[in-house]
Structure 1
Amino acid sequence: MHEVLQDLATEVRSKNAGPFWVTLEVFLRDEAAYAVAADPGFLDGEVVARLYGVAAAGVRIFRVPSLNVVKISFPRPVAQGSLRDRDIHAGQHHVPLALLPLPA
């Protein structure tokens, strides 16, 4: 039984998209998993904003059905390499998204 988003994915990762943006990518196992993850009723800007403490208006979600991929970008809370930056490569930002509970 699938309980969190990572259970539907082959990979969930995050990376820098320049010094001011983070990109998250969810590579889904198949079309059925993609249908769940790409559903705007499940994953939208409000959900991402809540998970990462960012403004929903700044969240960009790209759904790529031909690849079974959902890509999310949002402004970094602090600039890359700044004094308060705790993850300079944004390599750990994917964890809250990967652990997002699936709909019942």
Structure 2
Amino acid sequence: MPETTLAELAHEVRSKNAGPFWVTMELFMRDAEGYRIAADESFLNEGVIARLYRVEESTIQIFRIPSLNVVKISFPRPVSQGSLRDRDIHAGQHHVPLARLVVPPVS
């Protein structure tokens, strides 16, 4: 059975700067069922994001917005926007590991 990713359940998965020192990623889920999966704290939580992005778990903020079927995740940028080591000045590619995250099988 093929694996399903968050991207397949979402209308859109995107990332962007939230100022020069933070990244925000947004999961716009297609429907309530997709949102239920993405918002499940046993599946998508600070520990998972910390491992995916190699950031401190305590710095991650997750906002679950059921009325919009949206999950929003913010954490400090690894380097400040526009600094010499910044490889993605708009943080437009940070969402890729999140989008590729495999969801647990539906039981």
Query: Aligned residue for 1:68?
Result: 69
Listed one character per residue, the Cα deviations across residues 2-21 of structure 1 (whole Å, up to 9, x for unaligned) are 61110100000000000000
Listed one character per residue, the Cα deviations across residues 4-41 of structure 1 (whole Å, up to 9, x for unaligned) are 11010000000000000000000000001000000000
* Structure 2 CA distance for aligned equivalents of residues 17 and 2 of structure 1: 31
Q: TM-score, normalised by structure 2?
A: 0.95
> Is the CA contact 1:2–1:8 (under 8 Å) kept in the aligned structure 2?
no
> Is the CA contact 1:9–1:28 (under 8 Å) kept in the aligned structure 2?
yes
Residues 35 and 2 of structure 1, relative CA distance in 2, 3 Å threshold? farther
Query: Aligned residue for 1:42?
Result: 43
Query: Aligned residue for 2:31?
Result: 30
* Structure 1: stretches of 5+ with no match in the other structure: none
RMSD: 0.9
Which aligned runs of 4 or more in structure 1 are off by greater than 3 angstroms? none
* Structure 1 CA distance for aligned equivalents of residues 30 and 60 of structure 2: 24
- Percent identity, please: 67
* Structure 1 CA distance for aligned equivalents of residues 7 and 49 of structure 2: 15
> Is the CA contact 2:3–2:102 (under 8 Å) kept in the aligned structure 1?
no
Listed one character per residue, the Cα deviations across residues 16-73 of structure 1 (whole Å, up to 9, x for unaligned) are 0000000000000000100000000000000001010100000000000000000000
Aligned length: 104
Q: TM-score, normalised by structure 1?
A: 0.97
